[in-house]
Amino acid sequence: MIWVHDKLVGLFGLGSKDPQKKSISKKKKELRKLVKDKKYDSALRIGAEILKKNPDENDVLFIIGGIYYMKGKYRTAISYFEKSLEIATHDVEVLILNATSHFRLGNFKQAINCCGTIKEIDPKNKVVVELLEKIESAKK
């Protein structure tokens, strides 16, 4: 038992009682299921609902960006990835998708910058090496 705000609380009684947090948590579960079931349009709708209530929901930003990435809508994906990177600046997965999106749009300088950040975080990252090789080939 733990004392919180002058009340004795059970160890597992500290979960969020905030209805909005519970609602977002439920929506995030629904979002993940929709993505798993490849129902991307419905997932985008649910993701937008979550982000309306909490625009800094980092994993939702990543998921929505990833859906747009898979749909080939790289500019839209980048907007979600960059918002995600404002929250979690060293997220290698987001950086890789962001770099690849820039590459696919022909924005080589931005792609190279993202790759540089990834190399600082994870110097042995194989995806970065491959992407930098693709960029150099495409520039010729």
Question: For the chain, which domains are there?
Answer: 18-139 (1.25.40.10)
Report the pLDDT value the prediction gives residue 59, as an integer from 0 to 100.
94
Report the pLDDT value the prediction gives residue 16, as an integer from 0 to 100.
54
Report the pLDDT value the prediction gives residue 24, as an integer from 0 to 100.
86
- For the chain, percent helix, then strand, then coil, each to nearest 5? 70, 5, 25
Q: Cα 38 to chain center, whole Å?
A: 17
Residues of the chain with pLDDT under 50: 1-14
Cβ atoms of 80 and 68 within 8 Å: the answer is: yes
Give dist(CA 133, CA 129) in Å, integer: 6
What's the whole-model pTM score? 0.83
Report the pLDDT value the prediction gives residue 1, as an integer from 0 to 100.
43
Report the pLDDT value the prediction gives residue 17, as an integer from 0 to 100.
64
Looking at the DSSP bridge assignments, the partners of residue 9 are 2
Report the pLDDT value the prediction gives residue 8, as an integer from 0 to 100.
46
Report the pLDDT value the prediction gives residue 125, as an integer from 0 to 100.
95
For 38, the 3-state DSSP assignment is coil
Query: Which residue type does 105 have?
Result: L
